[in-house]
Amino acid sequence: MNDYKIVIDPGHGGSDPGASGNGLVEKNLTLNISRYIYNRLRELGVPVSITRNDDSTLSPTERVNKILGFYGSDPNVIVISNHINAGGGDGAEVIYALRNSSRFADLIGNELQKEGQNFRKAYQRRLPSNSSKDYYFIHRNTGNTEPVIIEYGFLDSSKDDVNQLKNNYENLAEGVVRAILEYIGYDYQPSTSDLYVVKKGDSLWSIGKKYGLSVDEIKRLNSLTSNMLSIGQTLKLSGDPITNNDIYIVKNGDTLYSIAARYGISVDDLKNYNNLSSNSLSVGQQLYIPTGQDASDLIGTDYDTYVVQPGDSLFSIANTYNTSVSNLRDINNLTSDTLVVGQQLLVPINEDIVDTSITNFTNYRVLTGDTLYSIAARSGVTVDELKSINNLTSNNLSVGQVLKIPVRETTVYTVKRGDTLYSIAREYNTSIDEIMKKNNLTSNLLSIGQQIIL
């Protein structure tokens, strides 16, 4: 054996959702991928840590400090920073540090291709203001470690990436596991148990038919007392019955103490089992519970995550997603109708009302002289659409009012550290004036995480 150690870094998190579209939110998918890799490496006996195991916010400094705090600044420490791309391309990419060779990145690319994903390239990126430095802080500020950024695909791809990310992400993660083991000289062993993650439309009967199992066999293996399944639930398909790997979805008002008491375990056991570094929890977070399954947490529908915007109300959100205010309250365990900008809500996905030509929304602040007609004409939508999207009952507007504007068939770019309007315009073959016009910008100042329409 050798002394390699691995740090898994799920990109974004908490108040930084990353890119989103087509029912995918980057921070959620990177956490799922990272947990898979983390659990597999632990299973294989590889020393491994993870920077976040929940929906927590990490600043660049906090992220770097965590990475270096696990095993120090050492060339035998490998950092896997997981991300999802946006911008309309297709396929996976791996970005490696200037101080490292391409060997590890190439191995990852080869394994992702074996799992059916198109691999675009492995490359390095330099800081425009100083070409001797890496562009990304995860490369630049992590000492002598060997970090790679893996972009598993484009969530706004017009090709097969969306399907890969929704239905094949565990296989892609397993490909990364194989690449890590080959690079550090460990023997690869398949998972000790076949696991299946429940998807929309699954039933015990359809899963059993696919894997040659009866409904009763699946229920026995997973200690199920009913036929109900939840999206994202993990099922065991072979081996001994599950007795110690159930999942609890955090609800409003939950604490580590209340959850631990409910299952008869200690808070420390719960934290250690989930690799938590604090007692903070977020609604919708998944916790692994070393006990039997709680059937009360099973759901029978598919949900998406909505981030509350200025001007939103439960009524306007319910209207947008064709549901009721009371249903939104029940889904999110809300005790009042008060919302906070940035708050995350679970919303039911209704396939019948999704306008597939709309891929995103941008916020527009009303200026003096604006009318609904002028804003609609400039945005390529109708006045009625604007009124419906923003729950407006009249055509009256007030200066400073924030409107949600649908973005159709366009590219939305999320600003990263070091970006400027000039660098973005150059990369996407457009002009600064055009970007400013499309985004109602009055200065060249950008903020990290800001979304720019291109």
pLDDT in tens, 214-225: 888 888 777 677
| Chosen domain end from 184, 204, 228 | 184
Q: Which residue has the tokens 């194989």?
A: 178
Q: Is residue 411 part of a domain?
A: no
Beta strands 119-123 and 92-96, pairing class: parallel
For the chain, the straight-line distance linking the first and the last C-alpha, in angstroms and rounded, comes to: 49
Count the helices and strands in the chain (H runs, E runs): 16, 20
Q: What is the mean pLDDT of residues 59-70?
A: 92
With CA atoms as reference, report the closest residue to 50 among 342, 222, 346, 288.
288
- Say whether 26 sits in a helix, a strand or coil: helix
Which residue type, as a one-letter code, is found at position 129?
S
pLDDT in tens, 233-248: 667 776 545 443 456 7
Distance, CA of 334 to CA of 311 (rounded, Å): 18
Whether residues 42 and 177 share a domain: the answer is yes
150: tokens are: 């893996």
The CATH code of the domain that includes 36 is 3.40.630.40
Whether residues 139 and 236 share a domain: the answer is no
Whether residues 202 and 268 share a domain: the answer is yes
Whether residues 248 and 118 share a domain: the answer is no
Whether residues 141 and 234 share a domain: the answer is no
pLDDT in tens, 8-51: 999 999 999 999 999 899 999 999 999 999 988 987 889 999 99
Q: Is residue 394 part of a domain?
A: no
314: tokens are: 């439960």
Q: Is residue 157 part of a domain?
A: yes
Q: Is residue 420 part of a domain?
A: no
Mean pLDDT of the chain: 80
Whether residues 72 and 177 share a domain: the answer is yes
The helix (H) or strand (E) run that includes residue 428 is none
Q: Is residue 443 part of a domain?
A: no
- Work out whether the CA dihedral 282, 286, 290, 294 comes out positive or negative: positive
Q: Does position 418 have pLDDT exceeding 90, yes or no?
A: no
pLDDT in tens, 157-209: 999 999 999 988 988 999 999 999 999 999 887 765 566 767 777 888 888 87
| Chosen domain end from 323, 338, 354 | 354
Distance, CA of 188 to CA of 44 (rounded, Å): 8
Q: Which residues lie below 8 Å from residue 94, measured CB to CB, with a gap of 6+?
A: 105, 108, 109, 121, 122, 123, 148, 149, 150, 151
Distance, CA of 286 to CA of 307 (rounded, Å): 19
| Chosen domain end from 278, 297, 316 | 297
| Count of structural domains, the chain | 3
Whether residues 48 and 66 share a domain: the answer is yes
- Most confident option among 72-81, 317-326, 392-401: 72-81
Look at 112 and 352; give whichever has higher pLDDT.
Answer: 112
Q: Which residue has the tokens 């009124």?
A: 387
Q: Which residue has the tokens 């889904």?
A: 331
**DSSP assignment string, 176-227:** HHHHHHHHHTPPP---SS-EEE--TT--HHHHHHHHT--HHHHHHHTT-SSS
Residue ranges making up the domain that contains 305: 301-354
Q: Is residue 451 part of a domain?
A: no
C-alpha dist (Å) from residue 43 to 82, 207, 289, 371: 20, 25, 17, 60
Whether residues 289 and 307 share a domain: the answer is no
pLDDT in tens, 339-397: 887 777 777 654 333 343 444 567 788 888 888 877 876 776 777 777 777 777 778 88
Q: Which residue has the tokens 């026995």?
A: 220
Whether residues 14 and 114 share a domain: the answer is yes
With CA atoms as reference, report the closest residue to 423 among 444, 441, 440, 397.
444
117: tokens are: 């994903």
Whether residues 21 and 162 share a domain: the answer is yes
Look at 444 and 407; give whichever has higher pLDDT.
Answer: 444
CB-count burial class (<10 Å; 0-12, 13-18, 19+) for 435 = buried
Whether residues 59 and 169 share a domain: the answer is yes
Whether residues 88 and 157 share a domain: the answer is yes
The CATH code of the domain that includes 338 is 3.10.350.10
User: Are 452 and 413 within 8 A, CB to CB?
Assistant: yes
Q: Is residue 440 part of a domain?
A: no
Q: Is residue 340 part of a domain?
A: yes
User: Are 179 and 169 within 8 A, CB to CB?
Assistant: no
Cα 96 from chain centroid? 21
